[in-house]
Amino acid sequence: MGHSITAASGDVPVSRAESGDTDARLVQSVRDGNIAAFDTLVHKYKQRIFAIVYNMTSNREDAADLTQECFIKAFRSLDRFKGRSQFFTWLYRIAVNATLTHLKKNRYRRFFSFENLNEEGIHPDLAEALASKVKTERPVMLNELQEKLNEALQSLSPKHRTVVVLFEIEGLSHEEISDVLGASVGTVRSRLHYAKRQLQASLQPYLR
């Protein structure tokens, strides 16, 4: 898994350590009363937080609300951030907890909405498979694939889904996920293994 993240500009990949130092400076700046520094943090993490929440809920509107809620919570409790973990871990924890609470509250509500798929981000093998299709057929197939993926993810329990999203989609390491969830690395590995088996069963027609 990649251990670099994309900076706010979206162009320059920076290491976790560098990013952590920058975050710490920004956090201190916000604590000193510089609200604009929080804007920088929002700008830097909003897409990643949104992606986590969106992939956990499969609903764009809920994801937008929960992402905003996550940043507001972070802003209000920034004084309580001790710096023992990295800022992004702390922020992810807020987002994951808010989302899990939301999912618990809305257990029986199933309403999915999809984001537009940027075909540039699709894996080469899949892109190649898609390339064999005529242009009119491709969007239909992509929508179908998105739907199946969402269904497969939603068939997992929230805990298993969270691990899959953080590891496979967000590219966090087992240790980072363990830090975010407050679970042991062994638990994270075990959940991931179980979740992948479940997904393989659900997505069999699309797999090798």
Partner 1 sequence: MLDSESNKKKPTVEDLLRVKRAEQPSEEFWRRFDRDLEKKIVRSVVRRDTAVSEFFRWIYARGKVFAAGSCVLLGAFLLLSKSSVPSDSPPSPVVSQPAPAATEVLEKVDTWSSSDAPSLAGADQNFVIEVLSSGAGPAAGAGRSWMGGESEQGSNAYYVADQLSSTEQGWSGERLPF
- Interface residues toward partner 1, by CB under 8 A: 38, 42, 46-47, 50-51, 54-55, 60, 64, 67-68, 71-72, 75-76, 114-123, 125-126, 128-129, 132-133, 141, 144-146, 149, 164-165, 168-169, 196, 199-200, 203, 205-208
Tokens 């062994």 identify what position?
186
Angle at 206 between CA 1 and CA 160, to 5 degrees: 50
Read off the DSSP letter of residue 83.
S
Question: Shortest Cβ distance from residue 197 to partner 1 (Å)?
Answer: 9
Nearer to partner 1 (CB atom), residue 164 or residue 180: 164
Question: Shortest Cβ distance from residue 182 to partner 1 (Å)?
Answer: 24
Nearer to partner 1 (CB atom), residue 75 or residue 182: 75
With H, G, I as helix, E, B as strand and everything else as coil, classify residue 133.
Answer: coil
Question: Shortest Cβ distance from residue 32 to partner 1 (Å)?
Answer: 16
Question: Shortest Cβ distance from residue 106 to partner 1 (Å)?
Answer: 20
Rounded Cα gap, residues 159 and 153, in angstroms: 11
Nearer to partner 1 (CB atom), residue 70 or residue 181: 70
Question: Shortest Cβ distance from residue 125 to partner 1 (Å)?
Answer: 5
Nearer to partner 1 (CB atom), residue 18 or residue 61: 61
Rounded Cα gap, residues 114 and 194, in angstroms: 26
With H, G, I as helix, E, B as strand and everything else as coil, classify residue 170.
Answer: coil
Tokens 């972070």 identify what position?
74
- Which residues, 6+ apart, have CB-to-CB distance to 201 below 8 Å? none
